[in-house]
Amino acid sequence: MNLTLGDIVLCLTGKEPLGTENHRRVMAVRTDSRAVEQGDLFVCLKGERHDAHDYAEQVSCLGAAAIVASRPLDKVTCPVIVVPDTLVALGQLGRCWRERTAATVVAVTGTAGKTTVKELTAQTLEHILGAAGKVSKNHKNFNNQVGLPLSMLAANGSESAWIMEVGISKPGDMAELGVIIAPDVALVLNIGPAHLEGLGSLEGVARAKASLLEHVKPGGTALCCMDYPELWAAAKAICPGVVGFSSRDASARYYARFLAAAEGGRGRFELVIDGQRVEAELPACGAHFAENAAAVAAICHTLGHGAQDIAAGLSAAGLPEQRFCCSMRGHWCVVDDSYNANPLSMTRSIEAAKLMAGAKPLVLVLGDMRELGSGAAEAHEKLGALLPAIAPAAVFFQGAHAADVARGAGVAVAVTAVSEPRQVLEALAARKISGGVALVKGSRSCHMEVYAQGLLCGLGTSETEGGRG
C-alpha cells in the first residue's frame, strides 16, 4: 500500500483532512492488535468474541499512525478516524487503493479450486514475466470481507497484476466483495452444493457466483466455465459477452483435457488456447484438474500471453499447501488435501487419488463436509454411495456423518469411524496394508491436517510397513 494518512481520511470521510500528519505515509493496515507496528493503521473490527476497540490504547502505545473506529476513543495518542461501520470502511480502503493501482486486477470465484487457480495463475504469470513484473495475490485464502481488502492493501503498487480469489457463503456477499475488487478480469470457475445453508440451492449458488461478473470494470473481460448449465446460463444472463472455457467442450476458446498420469502425482494435459494446441505437465492429475488448467490459460491469455509461455509457466508451477499435495513416505504416497471439502471437491479428489493409486491400495481418510444445511446427511450418504465403484482398501471417517457415509457405502465398503491419527495407523498395520496412496480430506473445521501430519510421521516405519525395515 502507498497511501498517506490524508488519503485515508479523505477516502473514509469524504472530507479534506486538516493537520500536520496528513502527509505521513501509512506502512500497513492491520485488524489484529498483536500485529501492529509503528506507522500502521489499525481498523477496529467487532467480532463474536472480541471487540478490537478494547485494544485501541494498546496499539496507540505501539506507535499506530491512526485508528479507524466506530466511536470516539479515550486514552489514545494517535488520530482516530470515526466511521459508521469499520468493516465497511476496511472495504472502502481496499477499493480506494485498487483505484490507484496500475496493475491488472483479476478476481476468481467458484465452489472448488479457486485457491488452486489463483496460485497457479500467479505462479504462471511470475514465470512468464520473470524479473520484468511482479504479481500480488491473497495470502492463503483470505477472500472474505476482511481478508480480501487486507490482501489488496498488502500490495505495494508496483505489481503488473493482482490475482485475488473471492469467497462467499451467503446472499449479499458478492455484492459487497465485488464493489471492493472491481476486477478488470473476472473468472467463475465452477459451482457445486456448498454453503447451502446460506445460498439455498445449486441455482442459488450459480446466481451468487456469477454475480461477480456484474462488477467487471468497463472494457474488462468476463470468463466462465461452460461445463455447468446453471452457472453458464446465469453468467450469460448477467454478461452476454462472457467468454467460456471448458474441460468438456473442445470447441471452447479455452479448453483443456487430461492425457495421462506422470510421476509424483503430476499429470500431462493438452491445452487449446484460442486455437493453438500445447501440452503441459501440471502438479496434479485427473480429468477434474483440466478445468483448473483451462481457467489459468483463459486468464493468462486474456492478459496478453501466448500459448507456449502459458504452458511453460503451468509446467513450472506447484500446488499450495494442503491442496492435493503429494509426499512419499516409504511405500506410501500421502495426499494432503485437507484444507477444505464440499461434495464437488471431495468427489474429484477421491477420483484423482484412485487414478494415482492404479493397482496399488487406496486408503481414504475423510472428514465431514460442513455448511450443507438440511441436506448434509443426504450429501454424505451420496458420498458413501460413490465408494463401492472406487473400491478403496480402507476408509476412515472423522466426524458426525460417519454413519451416513457408511449407510451410503452399504456392505461393499467398510467405513471405520476414527477420532485420532493413531487409530488409522494401527488399523493399517493390523490389516497389513503396507503401501499405496492415502488421501486425507475434510472441511477446514475438521482439522484433517492433523491426520495428514500423523500419516506423514507414522507411515514408512517398520510397524506400518507390515514388519519390513
- My answer on whether 381 and 307 are in the same domain is no
Ranking 258-262, 265-269, 284-288, 293-297 by mean pLDDT, the lowest is 284-288
- At 170 the pLDDT is 87
- My answer on whether 335 and 230 are in the same domain is no
With respect to residue 170, please indicate whether it lies within any of the assigned structural domains: yes
- My answer on whether 172 and 300 are in the same domain is yes
- My answer on whether 61 and 133 are in the same domain is no
- The pLDDT of 163-183, averaged and rounded, is 95
For the domain that residue 290 is a member of, what is the CATH number? 3.40.1190.10
- My answer on whether 173 and 116 are in the same domain is yes
With respect to residue 36, please indicate whether it lies within any of the assigned structural domains: yes
With respect to residue 92, please indicate whether it lies within any of the assigned structural domains: no
- The pLDDT of 63-84, averaged and rounded, is 94
Instruction: Indicate if the pLDDT at residue 468 is higher than 50.
Output: no
- My answer on whether 30 and 145 are in the same domain is no
User: What predicted TM-score, i.e. pTM, was given to this entire model?
Assistant: 0.85
Pairing mode of beta strands 267-273, 254-261: antiparallel
With respect to residue 74, please indicate whether it lies within any of the assigned structural domains: yes
Q: What is the DSSP string of 416-429?
A: EE-SSHHHHHHHHH
Instruction: Indicate if the pLDDT at residue 464 is higher than 60.
Output: no
With respect to residue 465, please indicate whether it lies within any of the assigned structural domains: no
For the domain that residue 10 is a member of, what is the CATH number? 3.40.1390.10
Stated as kind and residue range, the H or E segment containing 26 is strand 25-26
* Dist CA 321 CA 448 (whole Å): 13
Instruction: Give tens-digit pLDDT for 221-251.
Output: 999 999 999 999 999 999 999 999 999 999 9
- How many Cα neighbours within 13 Å face the side chain of 343? 23
- At 469 the pLDDT is 28
Ranking 140-144, 145-149, 186-190 by mean pLDDT, the lowest is 140-144
From 268, 285, 316, give the residue that closes a domain.
316
Domain extent, residue 390, equals: 325-458
The DSSP code for 134 is -
- The set of cell numbers assigned to 284 is 496434479
With respect to residue 303, please indicate whether it lies within any of the assigned structural domains: yes
- My answer on whether 342 and 218 are in the same domain is no
- My answer on whether 65 and 119 are in the same domain is no
- My answer on whether 150 and 19 are in the same domain is no
From 255, 289, 316, give the residue that closes a domain.
316
- My answer on whether 299 and 447 are in the same domain is no
Measure Cα distances from 396 to 100, 338, 393, 418, 447 in Å: 51, 14, 10, 6, 15
Stated as kind and residue range, the H or E segment containing 406 is helix 402-409
With respect to residue 93, please indicate whether it lies within any of the assigned structural domains: no
With respect to residue 131, please indicate whether it lies within any of the assigned structural domains: yes
Burial class (CB in 10 A: 0-12, 13-18, 19+), 304: exposed
- Cβ atoms 105, 149 nearer than 8 A: no
- At 226 the pLDDT is 98
- My answer on whether 262 and 385 are in the same domain is no
Instruction: Give tens-digit pLDDT for 371-428.
Output: 898 899 999 999 999 999 999 999 999 999 999 999 999 999 999 999 999 999 999 9
* Dist CA 178 CA 82 (whole Å): 25
**Given pLDDT bands bounded at 50, 70 and 90, which one contains residue 466?**
very low
Measure Cα distances from 347 to 100, 133, 406 in Å: 42, 37, 16
Q: What is the DSSP string of 271-334?
A: EEETTEEEEEEESS-STTHHHHHHHHHHHHHHTT--HHHHHHHHHH--PPTTSSEEEEETTEEE
For the domain that residue 361 is a member of, what is the CATH number? 3.90.190.20
**Given pLDDT bands bounded at 50, 70 and 90, which one contains residue 18?**
low
On average, the pLDDT of the chain sits at 93
- At 120 the pLDDT is 96
- My answer on whether 312 and 336 are in the same domain is no
* Dist CA 3 CA 5 (whole Å): 7
From 274, 299, 316, give the residue that closes a domain.
316
Q: How many domains does the chain have?
A: 3
Closest CA to 91 of 10, 183, 153, 166: 153
Instruction: Indicate if the pLDDT at residue 462 is higher than 50.
Output: no
